[in-house]
Chains A and B, each alone.
Chain A
Amino acid sequence: MSDPLLHIEGLRVEVEGREILKGLDLTLDKGEIHAIMGPNGSGKSTLAYVLTGRPGYEVTAGKIAYNGENILDLAPDERAQKGIFLAFQYPTEVPGVSVVNFMRTAYNATHPDDQKSAMQFRMYLQEKIDLLEIPTELVDRYVNQGFSGGEKKRNEILQMAVLQPQLAVMDETDSGLDIDALKHVSAGVNKLANDEVGILLITHYQRLLNYIRPDKVHVLMAGRIVRTGGFDLAERLEAEGYAGIAAELGLTDEEIAELRSAEAKV
């Protein structure tokens, strides 16, 4: 009946003249969690960025519909205002801007009908901090400056909790975390998952999926979604690696070589 939350069809994306996504299809509904797995360099972050409208990521073909609406012409802030959120793989440090000030500005920009004063926002923020069990002092520091890897990821989850997006894209939120941090961050995501939000969980490894159970698992390789399945697909990847699937898919030698060299770089 209603439009899916996110519908991507035949998406082709170029970065600096090089085609990275080569006809990607994907549909995600509200309340669903989909995992996107793929080797390094397969275009996972490219997909995340193109959803948020990052400059330099040129869509040459295909479409992205969000709640049935084409969003390709919208600027990053306009997309965020409509409820799209990206938890960055490498969150940016912004010198001199405090987390709390940044988040309040973002909250008020994305919630035109619920403007919060500094005091009101503090209280609201504290609820989220308590929910996610994040050290309060984090929010009085400058955005990501001097944060550890784990703190940066937690700060992304906190922003998601504060902004309450409809579509959350989480780009390797598990990478660089030790097992305790991973559990902590996963618990946070699970608390935020509900019937109103769709989550795209981008990851390189299966281990995150032990803590956050996806409804579907997609494999991204050579710029396309090449397999879609359940949790068992993630387990299979863990056991066989990506190269196993590549051969079976009949990828060209060139594509396999590209895959190998990207894998070797890690």
Chain B
Amino acid sequence: MTDRLTRDALEGLASSLSEPGWMTERRHGAFDLFEKLDMPDPKGDEWRYVDVRDFDFGQFDVPAVGGKGVELPAEVADRGVIFTDLATAATQHAELFKEHYFTEVPTDEHRFTALHGAFVSEGFFLYVPRGVEVELPLEAFHTVAPGGSVFPHATIVVDENASLTVVDSFRSEDSDRPALCASVVEVEARRGSTVNYISLQRWGRNVHHFQTQRFTGHRDSTVRSLAVNLGSTFARTQVESVLTGEGSFSEMLGLYFADADQHFAQRTLQNHAAPHAVSDLLYKGALKERSTSEYSGLIKVAKQAQGTDAYQANRNLVLSEESKARSIPQLEIEANEVRCTHGATVSPVEEEHLFYLMSRGIDRVTAQKLVVFGFFGEVLDRIRVPAVRDELADAISSKVEGSQVLEMSA
């Protein structure tokens, strides 16, 4: 029989890895926290309406270690780019790695980051040296076995005036046995650098997905994130942009499409800590059948962050009577010279739109598809990786048709 996520299992996992002692110590520290912390409060701001108090950690097997690994394309290998699994980073790039590992997202944020810190099972360290522009998107893939767990970790550092695009994919087969993913992504964009990070959550049914992504943007940096939620049964994605450098820019895109009994929760933070920074957030989602979604987004502007421009929009398209979308914008503004706008909408597909399209001979499902594509177009058009755009177009199309939906009994 396989082990559950216990202290003993953690020791077994740590000893099977050839990682330095400080990493194992950190695992134990994180597990202490996991045991000590309470479950997130569904009445608090960050987890509003997301009630995981009954979440049963005891149902998942320990993670398989190592994952699929990552590969650095030959074109960039000789330009000093580091793209390796964590154990390799810890031995071959010890100093650099130790300096950045778990700095942006500490393990004590909540029980899921604590458990992640204890059981980190795969992931990558990615460093782009000063001035190096990596044009090809670098890719990482994660999977999980039925009934299992996976704890992917990404630590990304993009040095001054360098640029990078990363596509991080999460995929598995549908299963009737629940599985867990608790993931952390920490990104530092140094002065004048550009980072595009895309997470594609396309888990099979019955995976429970928890992810925290945090981006720190230094002076004149550009950080673009895209958080996609299509798969899993339950997903909570927390995406935070911390604009610590003057003149930094952050684009935050979200795209989600829920069906059957899927439940997606998304939390975003636009944290303006420096003057004249710009953040532009657009999260768009469609909901079908009995699915539900929550979006809660905070724009926070510190006193010294004068001249901030912050935009936030969450738009939901509801395709059935039973599905529900909730949207909660929040503002905390201490500076006095700021431009902030936020808007949230939840609207059904307009029958009038469908009728107009159908009156030209287009069948109802195709008409719906056009309307849904029209809705997502605003996000799709801003995705800079054509392969991702195409993949999402296909995924959206099959979600509308519904042919891919495998309904699991509870």
A109 touches B362 (CB 8 A): yes
A96 touches B360 (CB 8 A): no
A76 touches B358 (CB 8 A): yes
B351 touches A55 (CB 8 A): yes
Q: What residues on B are CB-neighbors of A80 within 8 Å?
A: 358-362
B360 touches A102 (CB 8 A): yes
Which of B357, B360, B362, B378 has the most chain A CB atoms inside 10 A of its CB?
B360
Report the separation of the CA atoms of residues A88 and B376 in the bound assembly, to the nearest whole angstrom.
26
Given contacts A55-B351, A88-B356, contact A94 B371 (CB under 8 A): yes
Report the separation of the CA atoms of residues A56 and B41 in the bound assembly, to the nearest whole angstrom.
47
Of residues 72 through 124 on chain A, the ones whose CB sits less than 8 Å from some CB of chain B are 75-77, 80-81, 85-86, 88, 91-92, 94-97, 101-103, 105-106, 109-110
Report the separation of the CA atoms of residues A215 and B85 in the bound assembly, to the nearest whole angstrom.
80
Report the separation of the CA atoms of residues A52 and B353 in the bound assembly, to the nearest whole angstrom.
15
Given contacts A96-B373, A96-B374, contact A109 B360 (CB under 8 A): yes
Of residues 337 through 392 on chain B, the ones whose CB sits less than 8 Å from some CB of chain A are 351-353, 355-364, 366-367, 370-371, 373-378
Chain B CB within 8 A of A186 CB: no
**Partner among A55, A96, A101, A105 whose Cβ is within 8 Å of the Cβ of B355:** A55
B373 touches A97 (CB 8 A): yes
The 0/1 profile, CB within 8 Å of A marked 1, for residues 227-265 of chain B is 000000000000000000000000000000000000000
Contacts between chains A and B (CB distance < 8 A), count: 79
Closest CB in chain B relative to A145 CB, distance in Å: 10
A52 touches B366 (CB 8 A): no
Closest CB in chain B relative to A52 CB, distance in Å: 5
Chain B CB within 8 A of A46 CB: no
Chain B CB within 8 A of A236 CB: no
Q: What residues on B are CB-neighbors of A88 within 8 Å?
A: 356, 359
A159 touches B375 (CB 8 A): no
Closest CB in chain B relative to A147 CB, distance in Å: 13
Report the separation of the CA atoms of residues A211 and B367 in the bound assembly, to the nearest whole angstrom.
35
Which of B366, B367, B378 has the most chain A CB atoms inside 10 A of its CB?
B367
Q: What residues on A are CB-neighbors of B370 within 8 Å?
A: 94, 97, 101-102, 105
Report the separation of the CA atoms of residues A9 and B64 in the bound assembly, to the nearest whole angstrom.
74
Report the separation of the CA atoms of residues A221 and B271 in the bound assembly, to the nearest whole angstrom.
64
Q: What residues on A are CB-neighbors of B360 within 8 Å?
A: 77, 80, 85, 102-103, 106, 109-110, 159, 163
Chain B CB within 8 A of A54 CB: yes
Q: What residues on A are CB-neighbors of B351 within 8 Å?
A: 55
Closest CB in chain A relative to B381 CB, distance in Å: 9
Report the separation of the CA atoms of residues A105 and B375 in the bound assembly, to the nearest whole angstrom.
17
Q: What residues on B are CB-neighbors of A52 within 8 Å?
A: 359
Closest to B367 in A: A77
Closest to A163 in B: B360
Chain B CB within 8 A of A142 CB: yes
Q: What residues on A are CB-neighbors of B373 within 8 Å?
A: 96-97
A97 touches B359 (CB 8 A): no
Of residues 26 through 79 on chain A, the ones whose CB sits less than 8 Å from some CB of chain B are 52, 54-55, 75-77
A76 touches B359 (CB 8 A): yes
Closest CB in chain B relative to A47 CB, distance in Å: 15
Closest CB in chain A relative to B363 CB, distance in Å: 5
A94 touches B359 (CB 8 A): no
Q: What residues on A are CB-neighbors of B378 within 8 Å?
A: 96
Q: What residues on A are CB-neighbors of B361 within 8 Å?
A: 77, 80-81, 106, 109-110, 163
Which of A77, A86, A163 has the most chain B CB atoms inside 10 A of its CB?
A77
Report the separation of the CA atoms of residues A163 and B351 in the bound assembly, to the nearest whole angstrom.
22
Report the separation of the CA atoms of residues A55 and B364 in the bound assembly, to the nearest whole angstrom.
13
Report the separation of the CA atoms of residues A52 and B354 in the bound assembly, to the nearest whole angstrom.
13
A106 touches B356 (CB 8 A): no
B374 touches A92 (CB 8 A): no
Given contacts A95-B374, A97-B370, A97-B373, contact A54 B355 (CB under 8 A): yes
Q: What residues on A are CB-neighbors of B364 within 8 Å?
A: 75, 77
Given contacts A55-B351, A77-B364, A92-B353, contact A142 B359 (CB under 8 A): no
- Given A77-B364, A159-B360, 10 new contacts (CB under 8 A): A76-B355, A77-B359, A86-B359, A92-B355, A94-B371, A96-B375, A97-B357, A102-B357, A103-B360, A143-B356
20 residue pairs from A and B, CB less than 8 Å apart: A52-B359, A54-B359, A55-B355, A75-B364, A76-B358, A80-B358, A80-B359, A80-B361, A85-B359, A88-B356, A95-B374, A96-B376, A96-B377, A97-B357, A102-B360, A105-B366, A106-B361, A109-B366, A143-B356, A163-B361
Cβ-closest 7 pairs across A and B: A96-B374, A80-B361, A106-B360, A92-B356, A110-B361, A97-B374, A96-B377
Residues of B within 8 A of A (CB): 351-353, 355-364, 366-367, 370-371, 373-378
